[in-house]
């Protein structure tokens, strides 16, 4: 049984920063990859950033390059998303996801999902 719990969302002004966390539970769980997706009201869920657990290789959408950083802590089974230089268009519900065998950019690549944490960026 695997559970993902996100935290760290909030309200910030444009140009500010937030750090999201996603803790995974499960005695025998070992992710192949973990990722962050986001969804704004009335819009489709979109890929933000991902990390392959073995080796720590990352993938990301162009709009967050140079602003967001994904990282992991093996001991804590936690993935982080450091978000800097936030823009109003980053406003969304951010979801953490984990995969048992894929490292991809679509929601169907992932097997487990967190409940989401809200990020709101004001102008």
Alpha carbons 97 and 91: distance in angstroms, whole number: 18
Q: Which tens digits make up the pLDDT trace of 64-110?
A: 999 999 999 988 989 999 999 999 999 999 999 999 999 999 999 99
Alpha carbons 117 and 49: distance in angstroms, whole number: 15
Alpha carbons 10 and 56: distance in angstroms, whole number: 27
pLDDT at site 75: 87
Closest CA to 31 of 111, 104, 94, 105: 111
Q: Which tens digits make up the pLDDT trace of 30-70?
A: 999 999 999 999 999 999 999 999 999 999 999 999 999 99
Q: Which residues pair with 70 in a beta bridge?
A: 81
Question: What confidence tier does 28 reach under pLDDT thresholds 50, 70, 90?
Answer: confident
């Amino acid at each position: 049984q695997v559970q993902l719990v996100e935290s760290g969302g909030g309200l910030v002004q444009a140009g500010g920063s937030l750090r999201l966390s996603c803790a995974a539970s499960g005695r025998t769980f070992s992710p192949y990859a973990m990722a962050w997706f986001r969804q704004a009201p009335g819009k489709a869920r979109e890929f933000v950033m991902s990390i392959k657990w073995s080796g720590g290789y990352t993938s990301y959408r162009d709009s967050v390059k140079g602003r967001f950083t994904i990282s992991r802590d093996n001991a804590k089974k936690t993935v982080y998303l450091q978000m800097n230089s936030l823009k109003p268009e980053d406003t969304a519900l951010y979801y953490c996801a984990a995969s048992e065998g894929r490292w991809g950019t679509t929601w169907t690549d992932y097997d487990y999902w967190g409940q989401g944490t809200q990020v709101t960026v004001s102008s």
